[in-house]
Amino acid sequence: MHLIRLLLPLRDNNKQEFPTAYFLKVREELTNRFGGVTAFVRSPAVGLWKDVNKVSRDDMVMFEVMSNQLDKEWWSNYRTQLQKEFRQEELLIWASDVTKL
């Protein structure tokens, strides 16, 4: 079993909020493909990174799905699609092996 997580920014690089419809679409796509999704949208995660002498910040939401199979090609294509839709140079998606107890 695999736990796949992805982070999406709440705002673009000009600090403009993405419409709620963007996140609803992701939720629907993941639910349709994997049969369910967990979305952490009420308490955004805070990402900080240092670029030269400046610290940048992103408020993000996390989506999680569980899957028996890890289709790396599908996830790579989906990440590319989301990067375009959310106007990001890179989005983080990662998977962990999970043992259900």
pLDDT at 78 over 70: yes
53 Cβ neighbours under 8 A, 6+ residues apart: none
Which of 11-15, 75-79, 83-87 shows the lowest mean pLDDT across its residues? 11-15
The CATH classification number of 2-97 equals 3.30.70.120
Structure confidence at residue 56 as a pLDDT band (50, 70, 90) = low
- The whole-number pLDDT of residue 1 equals 94
CA distance 5 to 27: 12
The residue type of 1 is M
Instruction: Give pTM, 2 decimals.
Output: 0.82
- The whole-number pLDDT of residue 19 equals 94
- The whole-number pLDDT of residue 52 equals 77
What value does the mean pLDDT of the chain take? 88
List the domain boundaries for the chain.
2-97
